[in-house]
Amino acid sequence: MLKINEERFRRFIRKARAAIRRADKTDMRGCAPCKKKLLERMKRPKLPRVLNAEVAFHCRTTPTARPQVADLDLYGRHVLFDANSLLAVEVPESAARYARERRAAPPQANGALWCHHQPQWPLIQSPPLKLVLNVTDRCNLACRYCWVRNAPPDDGKPPTMPIKTAIRALDLLKGRQINVSFFGGEPLLAWDVLEAVAEEARKRTPEGQPRPRLHVTTNATLITATMAAKIKQRGMSVLVSLDGPYKVHEVQRPWPGHNSYAATLGGLIALNSAGVRPYLRATFDDPDTDLAGLLEYFSEIVEAGLASGVSIEPAVLSEGCATGVLTAEGADTLARRYHDAAEWYVARARTGKVLDFAPFRKMIQRILYTRHAKSECGAGQGYMMIDADGSIHACHKGGCEIGHLDYGIDESRRAAWSDNRVYHQRKCMTCWARYLCGGGCRHHRLTLSGDVRGEAEAPCRIKKMLIREALWILAELGPERCKAFIR
């Protein structure tokens, strides 16, 4: 809580009264609302103020950009955001109005905005650096939004990846550090495949070289003490799907004939007993989801030492969910829920106990340290997915085949994915948030429009919600306080 100097406050009151008398207006003595307004005004930081911890390009630039500054009204706070430099400046309302009407920097922020430079990223054709092995489409749960469960059947694909196929997939890395994620379905239903790949990765890693990087995304319901010990021994990192407390999780992620919530918590406990601290992932498909309530719930789990952090993500059309978050009404509701979550996050940060919430953390980090994003991910470039039948896909969600283990990567099919830079996404280069979102998910674009460079309005809208909340959080907490927990 900001402390107000008593003498300074009294001087402020005296000056205000004198001004009122000069204007021949009613004296404010004894007017509680007026005193409250003065107090609130004094709590406000001196404006304008820069919300970035540093302002610099961390890549090559050219002075060819068309300047663009967004005037953002963030719940009463006014922020001018430079799309090219990522500079964020909080200004008074009058300065924001000046910038909006004249399309020029207000006197208070003159010289700090309207950057003519833009980041330059040369096209790099990256070989595969990370593989996602979709080891099985089978799952013991019946999650209502699962895209595998809702996808049309593929009769020609084996239900579980043969071990020989999984081992062959490692050849794509061609002597580089082995970096493999196991995905599904529920990958632990193919535990023998995971163990075989882990052992082969160990054999292929020369002594003295970095150990293989192995990761598994799981619902954790099948994890036993023995399995957890082996996960620890192999050095695997773990992402556990947990959607919230019992009433939330059990409805969204049922296990017919079982208590999926209890089983997931049992898996979390087994992992922690073995010395593995997983990250959590929650998914929601209702825009009116109580995100602040979920953050409170997950913070208790993190504080208990059962997890290191959490990401709460909306299911999207490409994942086969209901489409509530994709409607205009749903988007407005979701925006309110995200702000509730941001208010919870700020209140929590002021206590010194910050929850690692990935959607906010990633955007705050990019703004705070002016880290321009050239793309959303390296799908089809740095990472690829291998399906159970040996087909190679650009993205782990599938449906984007670019080759096969029998003949390798088909560059003609990969070409649409090879250049993942934001420059090529339609409309992105006129958007104020382009270098924070990096152009968004191309698989969303493919699913929604049939083109990896097509339109994806709803996911774009959701990403801008997160960016606006990140800017508001920075304005509320200030860059110095944010630096303490976001590096």
Mean pLDDT of all residues in 168-189: 95
- pLDDT of 183-220, one tens digit each? 999 999 999 999 999 999 999 999 888 999 999 999 99
Identify the pLDDT of residue 102: 86
DSSP state at residue 6: H
Helix (H, G, I), strand (E, B) or coil at 379: strand
Mean pLDDT of all residues in 308-323: 70
Task: Tokens 């749903």: give the residue.
Answer: 330
Query: Rounded distance, CA 291 to CA 299, Å?
Result: 12
Identify the pLDDT of residue 372: 96
- pLDDT of 416-448, one tens digit each? 999 999 998 878 999 999 999 999 999 888 888
Does the pLDDT at position 357 exceed 50? yes
Element (H, E) at 19: helix 6-22
As given in the structure block, the two tokens for residue 376 are 């959303």
Contacts 24+ apart (CB under 8 A), 228-231: 228/267, 228/270, 228/271, 228/273, 228/274, 228/276, 229/274, 230/195, 231/271, 231/274, 231/276
Does the pLDDT at position 323 exceed 50? no
Mean pLDDT of all residues in 135-139: 95
Helices (H) and strands (E) in the chain, counts: 17, 16
- pLDDT of 12-40, one tens digit each? 556 655 665 555 444 444 455 555 554 55
Q: Where are the domains of the chain?
A: 6-43, 49-122
Identify the pLDDT of residue 38: 47
Does the pLDDT at position 320 exceed 80? no
Identify the pLDDT of residue 27: 44
Does the pLDDT at position 291 exceed 60? yes
Identify the pLDDT of residue 220: 97
Render 177-235 in DSSP notation, one character per residue. PPEEEEEES-GGGGHHHHHHHHHHHHHHS-TTSPPPEEEEEE--TT--HHHHHHHHHHT
As a whole number, the mean pLDDT across the chain is: 88
Q: With bands split at pLDDT 50, 70 and 90, how would you rate the model's confidence at 113?
A: confident
